[in-house]
Amino acid sequence: MEEKIAQIAVTTFTVNNLWMMVSTFLVFIMHLGFATLESGFTQSKNTVNVLFKNVMVVAIGLLTYTLVGFGLMYPGTDFAGQVFAFGGFGLSLPANGITDAYNPGYTYWTDFLFQAMFAATAATIISGAVAERVKLEAFLIFSVIYVAICYPITGYWKWGGGWLNTMTTPFYDFAGSTLVHSVGGWGALAGIILLGPRIGKYVNGKAHPIPGHSMPLAVIGTFLLWLGWFGFNGGSVLSANPGSVSLVLVTTSLAASAGAAGAFFTSFFISKKHDLGMALNGILGGLVAITAGADQMGVTDAILVGLIGGVLVVLAVIFFDKLQLDDPVGALSVHLVNGVWGTLAVGLFGAKAGSAQIVSQLIGISAIGAFSFAFAFILFFVLKATMGIRVSEKEELEGLDKYEHGMSAYEFGELSA
């Protein structure tokens, strides 16, 4: 009898942990989403390169996060309220790491893996923005350091219990509009500035489109990212709590849908065509925007946040083109702009809305933005000064696949020849 009652706690723990594992799988599949989206939105002569970056970033990101990142981001409760802390290298199973004494929602291992899948996302966001011209080795080194050091530090500020979390009105970022997406977005901005645009992108100050090579890949990517977001946001509840998780899934889906609608109408208004690329970016914009407050919004809030996100994506794409910031896949518009918007929206809509919260949100956005932009800028700058970050003109024109990889993404010769 006693034993049976003890089983209740175990079973509850098992359910929560199961949900967190499922969320981990969903976040994992976002990496395939990024790989397909980014390769679909870029040229076929660079497809192997884009895919290679996305594959290696996951692998290297996981290993790096194992070695350093996890210890930096979650140093433990002894380090609350600080700016920097480190819990040690590598992983070591704490006492009770596999029972609910560690956390009522998940084991130490689940915790690590869920967080590690998140971490690799930030680097992957950058990979799209610098695509078609960045040197592979330079990018991989950048990713390792960014995932190992920058992302965990700002992550610690909030999720690890650092200073942003211990302010009077704590900064709020439910699942990472700022901590993940903007951090990726600021890194992307630094990279774009230091790399410069692709050859031929801006001629006499006018943007000259370089269409992506495969819309089916882009659509596969977007759907997989939406799917993955169920785990990204839903898993951020950190337990299988039925009410909280299912609300988060609803707000996430409605924001994505509203984002599509917002981008659909805005882009049709601007170009009189039904722009598939913008609709896809609109979905992603809505998803990024809802991420900061997915558990705080009602149905109408979520739709509004997503709708505005979708409109913002379209305007931002055009705006960045005006500034000649060449972003092949729209990473800035999706992750940076909507990361900021979504974080701010927590102060404007939903349960936490209020002026104190707005101030806290602005503090968080600025502090994390400043730190991660500066970090990325310096890191890219050092790489540029030393090994170089951009491929040769010849390589860029003939395609990175040929020179860096010695292969083509497609061989249809046999087929149609």
- φ/ψ (deg, to 5) at 298: -90, 180
Binding characters for its own copies, 9-48, by CB under 8 A (x = yes):
xxxxxxxxxxx-xx-xxx-xx-xx--xx--x---xxx-xx
Question: Do residues 68 and 88 touch, judged by C-beta distance below 8 A?
Answer: no
Does 409 participate in binding its own copies (rule CB under 8 A)?
yes
Total residues in contact with its own copies, by rule CB under 8 A: 118
Considering only residues 182 to 241 of the shown chain, the ones binding its own copies according to CB under 8 A are: 211-217, 219-220, 222-224, 226-227, 230, 234, 240-241
Does 218 participate in binding other proteins (rule CB under 8 A)?
no
Q: Among the candidate windows 167-175, 272-280, 346-354, 379-387, which touches other proteins by CB under 8 A?
A: 272-280
Burial class of residue 169 (count of CB atoms within 10 Å of its CB; 0-12, 13-18, 19+) = middle
- φ/ψ (deg, to 5) at 306: -70, -45
Considering only residues 48 to 87 of the shown chain, the ones binding its own copies according to CB under 8 A are: 48, 51-52, 54-56, 58-60, 62-63, 66
Does 394 participate in binding its own copies (rule CB under 8 A)?
no
Q: Among the candidate windows 101-109, 275-283, 336-344, 372-380, which touches other proteins by CB under 8 A?
A: 275-283
Helix (H) or strand (E) segment spanning residue 288:
helix 276-291
Q: Report residue 295 as tokens.
A: 């558990």
Question: Do residues 51 and 72 touch, judged by C-beta distance below 8 A?
Answer: no
Among 141, 258, 288, 312, binds its own copies (CB under 8 A): 258
Q: How far apart are CA 261 and CA 269, in angstroms?
A: 12
Q: Among the candidate windows 151-159, 310-318, 341-349, 371-379, which touches other proteins by CB under 8 A?
A: 310-318
Considering only residues 239 to 268 of the shown chain, the ones binding other proteins according to CB under 8 A are: 267
Q: Among the candidate windows 109-117, 194-202, 314-322, 336-344, which touches its own copies by CB under 8 A?
A: 109-117
Please say whether the dihedral angle defined by the alpha carbons of residues 40, 183, 230 and 58, taken in this order, is positive or negative.
positive
For other proteins, which is the closer residue by CB, 209 or 243?
209
Does 211 participate in binding other proteins (rule CB under 8 A)?
yes
Does 277 participate in binding other proteins (rule CB under 8 A)?
yes
- Residue 254 touches which member of other proteins, its own copies, none, C-beta under 5-8 Å by kind: its own copies
Q: 134 pairs with which residues across the strands?
A: 390
Considering only residues 349 to 408 of the shown chain, the ones binding other proteins according to CB under 8 A are: 394, 397-398, 402, 405-407
Q: How far apart are CA 21 and CA 231, in angstroms?
A: 9
What's the min distance (Å) between Cβ of 340 and other proteins?
20
Does 271 participate in binding other proteins (rule CB under 8 A)?
yes
In whole angstroms, how far apart are CA 284 and each of 131, 247, 333?
19, 19, 10
Local structure of 54: helix, strand or coil: helix
What's the min distance (Å) between Cβ of 142 and its own copies?
16
- φ/ψ (deg, to 5) at 155: -60, -40
For other proteins, which is the closer residue by CB, 270 or 323?
270
Question: Do residues 179 and 236 touch, judged by C-beta distance below 8 A?
Answer: no
DSSP assignments along 85-119, one per residue: ----SS----TTTTSTTT-TT--HHHHHHHHHHHH
